[in-house]
Amino acid sequence: MKSKLLLLLAAIVCTPSFANVDLIKVDKSKRRMYLVKENEIIREFRVALGKQPKGHKAQEGDQRTPEGLYYLDFILEDSQYYRSVHITYPNDRDIENARRHNLNPGGNIKIHGLKNGETKSASYIQSFDWTDGCIALSNQEMDEFIQLVDVGTPIEIYW
């Protein structure tokens, strides 16, 4: 019993759950998300991206994850995926670029867990890019992510 209590206390002390991050960085080329506080990475996640991950999202349906600086703007507890945090794509630059090329920039880009009802293991699902342009974590990681970030946190996505 004492050893379980010590392990629990160690986990609480070592887990930066009390620390809200300043910045989220997503390196699409490495399929990694970094949570940054005071210029230090406090947590790293492996992510799955859109099925066509290389390049910036230009239009709805291109299955690309956008690149640039965005913000987390709201949390959805009720979606097709386990917990979702919406990203402010498209921004003004994305909208203008789409308008110039007579395209619909799309939207509804989120960080989310696995699709509701998914029966395959998270390690399998996260071993390839499968979203339509979102950033996916395992459900357990999604719970941790939501504890560590606040609405309004900037997210920088790059190749």
Residue numbers annotated as active site:
112, 134
Helix (H) or strand (E) holding 44: strand 40-46
Tallying the residues shown for the chain, one arrives at 159
Q: Which segments within 64-138 are labelled E, that is strand?
A: 68-76, 84-87, 110-112, 135-136
- Tracing tokens 């506080």 back to the chain, one arrives at 37
- CB neighbour list of residue 135: distance below 8 Å, 6 or more residues apart: 26, 33, 47, 48, 49, 65, 87, 109, 110, 111, 112, 157
Q: What is the CA radius of gyration of the chain?
A: 17
Yes or no: say if 133 and 66 are a contact pair by the CB < 8 Å rule. Answer: yes
